[in-house]
Chains A and B, each alone.
Chain A
Amino acid sequence: MRTVLCHPYHLVEPSPWPCLGAGGAFFITVGSVMYFHYGLVQIMYLGVLVVVIIMFVWWQDVIRESTFQGFHSLVVKQGIKYGMLLFILSEVLFFFSFFWAFFHSSLAPAVELGVVWPPQGVNPLNSFSVPLLNTAVLLSSGATVTWAHHAIISGKREEAILGLSLTVFLGVLFTGLQGVEYYEAPFTISDSVYGSTFFMATGFHGFHVLIGTTFLIICLVRLKLNQFTSRQHVGFEAASWYWHFVDVVWLFLYLCVYWWGS
């Protein structure tokens, strides 16, 4: 049976999930502000609940449309690819703001900090210890995800499952090591603008690693359920693009915040 739809028609229905998901994300943002300022936690929980529910129904719709209805024609796939690229671009700009804050504070350290970076009294982490290991772990996961990708294209299912499982394992390992580093760090988020910029930038990167790992786990489950073919696997491609983006952000964080910044 042919699995490629070469006609130019866009067959999928408009979806309510992007708009409702954005609403959920907005509730998380506002809820977090309410939590940090007033200790009010309910709005944040509501936002998380909405986002989790929408993750399920949105993925369910995409899997139905792609795998079970066969609606992923070339033009539909191209639309999804535009969407993913624009989303990643917006994420790049999101991280720009944290790097901006970091360079603003570190290139000309304020007199209150002792005119030095790291500020007087702050002992930074050794960038050639666990952060270097984390760099190796994340770069390696980029190699294993490419292994899985080419295995899917060449129809080698077992190889693809192995490569993707290793990628997920490396993602979880990275998160675990970051958790240990956070606990062992001699400074906290309240230790001058060094702590604020460090935990804001690396913390949001950590969140993105969790999102990317979730995305890869979904792909692994779909791979095991035979939902990808060598021609039809946009979901996997989107996950691997996102994973590479998270990887590149880490490289910049490592070079600027961990190495230069220490």
Chain B
Amino acid sequence: MAARIVNRLNWMSRRFYAAAVDSSKMTLAEKEAAESKHAESTMKTWKNVSIFVAVPAILICAYNAWVKEKEHHTHPRPEFLEYAHLRIRNKAFPWGDGNHSLFHNPHANALPEGYEDEDH
């Protein structure tokens, strides 16, 4: 199975690079030169995708996230309600005082007893 997948991948990459030219009568050096040329045009395509698609996409998503997070921070945090299925402490966390989770945020995460600070 794995052999077939690898063979298939090799076959696909050969087809991919050799697609542009008839390689049956070429020497190995000529084939390599043709493949290198073809790879160069593929490289340019992906470079263009990176610069003209990926960078704007990241910038738009970053702006969108910035606006959403800013808006989110204007909301008051949810009221502390004691639920049996939340803030479970069957045993102490192995770090610190054993009552704070690893990424504990005093503003956002309540302890079993309630929030540690006042909302602001």
Per-position 1/0 for B56-84, Cβ under 8 A of A: 01101110110011001000011001011
A85-B5, A185-B103, A185-B108 as given contacts; A156 in contact with B46, CB under 8 Å: no
Which residue of chain A has the shortest Cβ distance to B100 in the bound complex?
A188
Q: Does A13 contact B (CB under 8 A)?
A: no
Please determine whether A190 and B101 come into contact, CB atoms closer than 8 angstroms.
yes
Please determine whether B54 and A188 come into contact, CB atoms closer than 8 angstroms.
no
A154 surroundings in chain B (CB, below 8 A): 36-37, 39-40, 43
Q: Does A18 contact B (CB under 8 A)?
A: no
* A244 and B94 alpha carbons, distance in the complex (Å): 34
Q: For chain A, what secondary structure do more than half of its interface residues adopt (helix, strand, loop), or is it mixed?
A: helix
A129-B64, A183-B103 as given contacts; A139 in contact with B54, CB under 8 Å: yes
Q: For chain B, what secondary structure do more than half of its interface residues adopt (helix, strand, loop), or is it mixed?
A: helix
Q: Does A113 contact B (CB under 8 A)?
A: yes
Q: Does B55 contact A (CB under 8 A)?
A: yes
Q: Does B104 contact A (CB under 8 A)?
A: yes
Please determine whether A150 and B46 come into contact, CB atoms closer than 8 angstroms.
yes
* A123 and B72 alpha carbons, distance in the complex (Å): 12
Q: How large is the interface on B (under 10, 10 to 19, 20 to 34, 35 or more residues)?
A: 35 or more
Q: How large is the interface on A (under 10, 10 to 19, 20 to 34, 35 or more residues)?
A: 35 or more
Which residue of chain B has the shortest Cβ distance to A177 in the bound complex?
B65
A85-B6, A146-B46, A188-B104 as given contacts; A140 in contact with B58, CB under 8 Å: yes
Please determine whether B47 and A159 come into contact, CB atoms closer than 8 angstroms.
yes
Q: Which of these, A86, A119, A128, A183, contacts B68 with CB under 8 Å? A: A128
Q: Please name 24 pairs of A and B residues whose Cβ atoms are closer than 8 Å in the assembled complex, sorted by A.
A: A36-B94, A82-B2, A82-B3, A85-B2, A121-B85, A133-B61, A136-B54, A137-B58, A140-B57, A144-B50, A147-B50, A150-B43, A153-B39, A154-B37, A154-B40, A155-B36, A163-B50, A166-B50, A182-B103, A184-B108, A185-B109, A187-B109, A190-B87, A190-B101
B residues in contact (CB < 8 Å) with A: 2-3, 5-6, 9, 17, 32, 35-37, 39-40, 42-43, 46-47, 49-50, 53-55, 57-58, 60-62, 64-65, 68-69, 72, 77-78, 81, 83-89, 91, 94, 101-105, 108-109
